[in-house]
Amino acid sequence: MEDKRPLALTVLSVSVLIAVVISKLVSYATKPRLNLPPGPWKLPVIGSLHHLVGSHAIHRSMRALAEKHGRHHLMQISLGEVFAVVVSSPEAAEEILRNQDVTFADRFLSTTIGVITFGGNDMAFAPYGERWRQLRKLCTLELLSAARVRSFRRIREEEVARLVRDLAASAAAGEAVNLSGRIAKLINDVVVRCCVGGRSEHRDEFLDALRTALDQTTWLTVADVFPSSKLARMLGTAPRKALASRKKIEHILEQIIQERKRIMDRSSHGGDGDGEAMNTSECFLDVLLRLQKDGNTPIPITNEVIVVLLFDMFSGGSETSSSTLIWTMAELIRKPKVMAKAHVEVRQAFQGKNTITEDDGVNELTYLKMVIKESLRMHCPVPLLGPRKCRETCKVMGYDIPKDTTVFVNAWAICRDPKYWDDAEEFQPERFENKSIDYKGSNFEFLPFGSGRRMCAAMNLGIANVELPLASLLYHFDWKLPDGMMPEDVDMQDAPGILVGKRNSLIMCPVTRVAPSNPQVIAS
């Protein structure tokens, strides 16, 4: 008799398979569909990446895509395995950054930033919660308060005076200067002195290590867009370079910490140490070491915490300031009438002085402030702000935003929205005249520093590092382009990366009008 058991098993297997398929289909058909924001077409595996590949200015590509696909300027894209939403209008930004701020209070943590910050152990990238709140409180009250920022004015004045002397020497020799390089060095020197003090023998080494670490964080890696791939993690070089940089920073900082502790001990025992006024001008490291020694903070101030907070201070206080200064000078040289108006204001305000100090009233220069605002509007230092992460599924402007969605707020696109800005692509500082628009996060058409709980905490430090140098550059010097160049020839392309500076160096010729050693105005 023929054995029918194989046939029975086959029928049973097919029946089970059909039942499973029907169950899946029923589940899919009855499952509530998410009403996701619109977006561009996708490819298997890579998602929307092909729309961005080849673009060195991702924020510009995202604006172009949003104009085409983003209804209400809310657009979905898939960066490999990472589902993301791009926000490109003030209305959508307000909904996320103010109305639902807590829901979007987490940060997207890239692999390289995760390595450098010990897995998001710093203030900028720590998950939203009690520890983050205590870190933020510590930074805003102890490290970045208005009083602390003012206490660094001597550092700013000394470094700016050094820059002015160097530029005057170049002017006397009739040399063109790489203003981008000069400005970057100025701001780096200011911020490193604010971070670790002015006389550390390891300062240059520390600066180099910080710069190298920062370079590893400028954009997403393959491991970021394919987080489930072990191969992507194995082949990626950026995380390994970031780890090497972090270890170098830790090693250098340990030496600097011991150096500062010796200074603080000598100062506390009545000695003059190395001559630094520790109590009146503490650097960030001094403050953190004092708090570490006191032991009264809600969270322990370990050396690990010191490393990541100093990295936050450096990245937040240097890159944005130098970028803004360079863009501002580039815009001014292209707009002679605006440059002339700024010259007149500064030279009238400080007439007869051979050196400008912050006590002379730099922060009262109305037109200079408008110039800085307009520069920040046109050239947001971090055009996509710090990417946020959705903590729970929610609705934004009628669309469903799933939990863990990465959110990019395209501040660059928002600041150039023609609905809010006339002649949005033109540099016109006068647009801020008699208007109460500021960069403190309450005007959602103008978000150079973000808004809400995750707004840039180093904003006051960044602005202070821009105002005095810009006023001094305009007070002491007239500026020309090298022979043969016209204002329209100045290259204004963005550099690639998350922190967007000017792609090519700004080369200009200083002509001394007020010599730093002589208050007399030099005839042109």
Mean pLDDT of residues grouped by 10 in the chain (524 residues)? Answer: 54 53 52 86 94 86 91 90 96 96 95 90 93 93 92 94 96 96 93 82 79 78 90 85 89 85 73 45 90 89 90 83 96 98 96 90 94 97 94 96 97 96 97 91 94 92 95 97 92 84 94 77 45
Q: What local confidence, expressed as pLDDT, does residue 43 receive?
A: 95
Q: What local confidence, expressed as pLDDT, does residue 516 receive?
A: 87
Residue with tokens 């009250």: 141
Domain boundaries, the chain: 32-512
Q: Which residues contact 137 (CB under 8 A, 6 or more apart)?
A: none
pLDDT in tens, 178-229: 999 999 999 999 998 999 887 667 777 887 888 788 777 777 888 999 999 9
Q: What local confidence, expressed as pLDDT, does residue 523 receive?
A: 43
Q: Report whether 456 belongs to an annotated binding site.
A: yes
DSSP 72: G
Alpha-carbon gap, residue 268 to 262, rounded angstroms: 10
Residue 107: both structure tokens together: 């940060």
Residue type for 181, please? Answer: G
Q: What local confidence, expressed as pLDDT, does residue 428 receive?
A: 98
Q: What local confidence, expressed as pLDDT, does residue 387 receive?
A: 94
Q: What local confidence, expressed as pLDDT, does residue 275 receive?
A: 42
- Contact in structure between 131 and 302 (CB atoms under 8 Å): no
Q: How many Cβ atoms are within 10 Å of 164's Cβ, its own excluded?
A: 26
Q: What local confidence, expressed as pLDDT, does residue 2 receive?
A: 53
- Contact in structure between 278 and 286 (CB atoms under 8 Å): yes
Tell which CATH architecture fits domain 32-512.
Orthogonal Bundle (1.10)
Alpha-carbon gap, residue 96 to 92, rounded angstroms: 6
DSSP 47: B
Closest CA to 415 of 387, 456, 446: 446
Closest CA to 87 of 390, 384, 491, 339: 384
